[in-house]
Amino acid sequence: MALKAPRLKDPNIIIRPVRNHREIAEANALVCNNYIQEGYWDNAEPFQKNRHMHSDLRAVFIAETKGRIVGTGSLVKDSQEGLPVDKSYGDVIRKFRQRGERIAEVSALAIDKSYAEQRNLVIFLFKYLYQYAFYYAHIDRFLIAIIARHAPFYRSVYRFEEIPNKANYEYVKPEFAPVLLTLPLVEAHKTYYERYEAGIADKSQSYYRFMLVDEHPNLQFPNKDQMVRRREIDWVAEATLRQLPIAV
């Protein structure tokens, strides 16, 4: 699939962690407004009742341009409190915990509907979420409950896999019942490399390197001394080794 590293026309976009409660409140308002406009909610009550959205284990990120927040996304790290998807899919995701995987749920994604580059901003925001989770938060696997009509994009581009399961999902109206998708983050390196980089001469155009490896001037990550995984490691080779049968 011939995907190339995208570019943002807006040079002022910065994607970074939130710095204070005001930014969290603005990000939350963007999420609520979008969900209400889309018809997923009648009001902000489902968000307010979701304890995970008010937990210290939720990491909130924003995309801003000239001080205006135009996008947001969150990671909810697994804990004894569980994840937002647990009420609906607990039996399905228990196997990941039993294997000792560190999991996180991608949640509260929203882009300002008036922003001109919505599709590219989604891609840049997801690039940030992946790299932060992988290199800084030591996450092994993503889970995301996504509205069904958006799922093909996540499957075809981001290479998520659907976990077949029919369950009631309390955070949106029944008619918008989502599907549960998952992505193992180490293995994603091999998947993305084989799909997006093999045969590409100009590595600067590699969608694999853009999404999973390279930094970007529009993305502000924490200090490098906070990294728990290094970008210099050949993660494609690591993923290949993990897929080899274990000798007994």
The pLDDT assigned to 150 comes to 87
Q: Identity (one letter) of the amino acid at 28?
A: N
Q: Identity (one letter) of the amino acid at 191?
A: T
Please report, in tens digits, the pLDDT of each residue of the chain (248 residues total).
Answer: 568 888 999 999 999 999 999 999 999 999 999 999 988 888 998 899 899 999 999 999 999 999 999 999 999 999 999 998 887 787 888 899 999 999 999 999 999 999 999 999 999 999 999 999 999 999 999 999 888 888 999 999 999 999 876 555 555 566 667 789 999 999 999 999 999 987 777 877 899 999 999 999 999 999 999 999 999 999 999 999 988 765 54
The pLDDT assigned to 172 comes to 58
- For the entire predicted model, the pTM comes to 0.92
The pLDDT assigned to 205 comes to 85
Q: Which contacts (CB < 8 Å, 24+ apart) does range 59-62 have?
A: 59/17, 59/132, 59/137, 60/17, 60/18, 60/23, 60/24, 60/27, 60/108, 61/15, 61/16, 61/17, 61/18, 61/125, 61/128, 61/129, 61/132, 62/15, 62/16, 62/17, 62/18, 62/23, 62/26, 62/27
The 8-class DSSP code of residue 170 comes to T
The pLDDT assigned to 4 comes to 81
The pLDDT assigned to 55 comes to 93
Q: Which of 208, 55, 74, 182 is nearest to 128 (CA)?
A: 74
The 8-class DSSP code of residue 244 comes to S
CB within 8 Å of 234: residues ≥ 6 apart: none
